[in-house]
Amino acid sequence: MEAITTAADITSLGIIESENGFLVSGDYGDNAVEVIRSDSELRCGCFIAQVSNAGECEHIVAVREYLASTPIPEGRPPLSQADADYYLSRVAVLDSTIAANAESANTQIDRIKLWLEMENAKTQRKKDYYILALDNWMHLMELSTKVLSAGTLKVRAQPPEILINDEDAVLKDGRFTRTIPEKQAVDKAALRKHVLGTGEEIDGISVILNKPHKFSYKLNQGGF
Ligand SMILES: [Zn+2]
């Protein structure tokens, strides 16, 4: 077997299977297409599948061939290291797509926010004219509540508000202080050590033993 496997060689593998469906590689590994499996039916989101009557396309045909040729999952050939490296480079490409989409969306969101801010400011200024006129009218008529056909107006005196500008000065005064009681908190590190050391599952906790393992990856700079 050759040590160097090119992308074109790898795409002859072509298909990655998961619980939900299949990822079918494009001609040179780019633009892989997802074929979703639901109720033993295969559905592809590609253009050809959308326009064809039977919803058929090359991706669905490829998945059928793949399923027919590999009836026993255990019988499938293991992934080579070169394939794994190639898959990781595809992850890098998809990560950069996600980042570019987020950047594009954020630019648009900033523009929309600015537009909304400016439109709201204009509208709010118009609204303020009416509000001021109505407020003045209520005062002139000495009304606290007025029911009109369009709605109800209310004028309510506000209670005085006290702002604390210098907390230290108020504390120094000494007449308006209270002691906040010490708060009990769980020492998670000590709890973990005790539970894992003794196996005792105390009241108020539950221990999950078979947590699924965590997979992670770190990409090299310019890894694709
Ligand atoms: Zn397709």
> How far does residue 55's CA lie from ligand 1's centre (Å)?
8
Q: Which has the closest alpha carbon to 35: 24, 51, 47, 25?
A: 24
Same domain, 60 and 98: no
> How far does residue 46's CA lie from ligand 1's centre (Å)?
4
Percent of the chain with pLDDT strictly greater than 90: 53
Following CA atoms 24, 26, 29, 34 in sequence, which dihedral angle do they give, to the nearest 10 degrees? Answer: -30
Query: Is the dihedral angle over the CA atoms 192, 193, 199, 200 positive or is it negative?
Result: negative
pLDDT in tens, 111-122: 999 999 999 999
Distance CA(125)–CA(213), nearest Å, equals: 57
State the pLDDT at residue 69. 81
Distance CA(189)–CA(157), nearest Å, equals: 54
- Among 58, 77, 96, where does a domain finish? 77
Residue identified by tokens 């648009």 is: 108
- Among 164, 192, 215, where does a domain finish? 164
Distance CA(49)–CA(26), nearest Å, equals: 15
For residue 181, with 0-12 CB atoms within 10 Å meaning exposed, 13-18 middle and 19 or more buried, which class applies? exposed
State the pLDDT at residue 75. 55
State the pLDDT at residue 36. 93
> How far does residue 156's CA lie from ligand 1's centre (Å)?
66
Same domain, 110 and 48: no
Highest mean pLDDT among 3-7, 21-25, 99-103: 99-103
Is residue 204 in some structural domain? no
Same domain, 97 and 69: no
Same domain, 120 and 72: no
Same domain, 118 and 66: no
Distance CA(191)–CA(211), nearest Å, equals: 18
Is residue 42 in some structural domain? yes
Is residue 48 in some structural domain? yes
> How far does residue 24's CA lie from ligand 1's centre (Å)?
9
> How far does residue 54's CA lie from ligand 1's centre (Å)?
12
Q: Considering only 23-27, 76-80, 126-130, 196-200, which range has the smallest mean pLDDT?
A: 76-80
Distance CA(34)–CA(46), nearest Å, equals: 8
Same domain, 103 and 47: no
Same domain, 58 and 90: no
Tell me the residue range of the domain where 160 lies.
78-164
Whole-number average pLDDT of the chain = 86
- Among 164, 182, 209, where does a domain finish? 164
Distance CA(14)–CA(24), nearest Å, equals: 6
